[in-house]
Amino acid sequence: MERFFRSLKSEWIPETGYRSFEEAKRGITDYVLGYYSCFRPHAHNDGLPPVMAEQQYWNAQKAVAKIT
């Protein structure tokens, strides 16, 4: 979590801060759900963003059983 908040502060939050709570909420949500999860590469995931790493994981899994 500390690394996440460091990235948030250094990559996204303006140096002058936000003008209102709503602006901060919108901006931080855009960072987390947009850039951080979908585009920002993560060393832990071999350079993939979390969304792509999760898709790759599930695509590699084999079905255990099929219930009909």
Q: Does some domain include residue 65? A: no
> What dihedral angle (degrees, nearest 10) is formed by the CA atoms of 31, 34, 37, 38?
-140
Q: Does some domain include residue 67? A: no
Higher pLDDT, 24 or 64: 24
Task: Determine the distance from the C-alpha atom of residue 38 to the mean position of all C-alpha atoms in its chain, rounded to a whole number.
Answer: 6
For 13-35, how does the pLDDT look when each residue is reduced to its tens digit (9 = 90+)? Answer: 998 999 999 999 999 999 888 88
When divided into structural domains, the chain yields a total of: 1
> Looking at the whole model, is its pTM more than 0.85?
no
Q: Does some domain include residue 66? A: no
Q: Does some domain include residue 41? A: yes
Task: Output the pLDDT for position 65.
Answer: 61
- For residue 24, the enclosing domain spans 2-60
H or E segment at 2? Answer: helix 2-11
47-51, 52-56, 64-68: range with lowest mean pLDDT: 64-68
Q: Does some domain include residue 39? A: yes
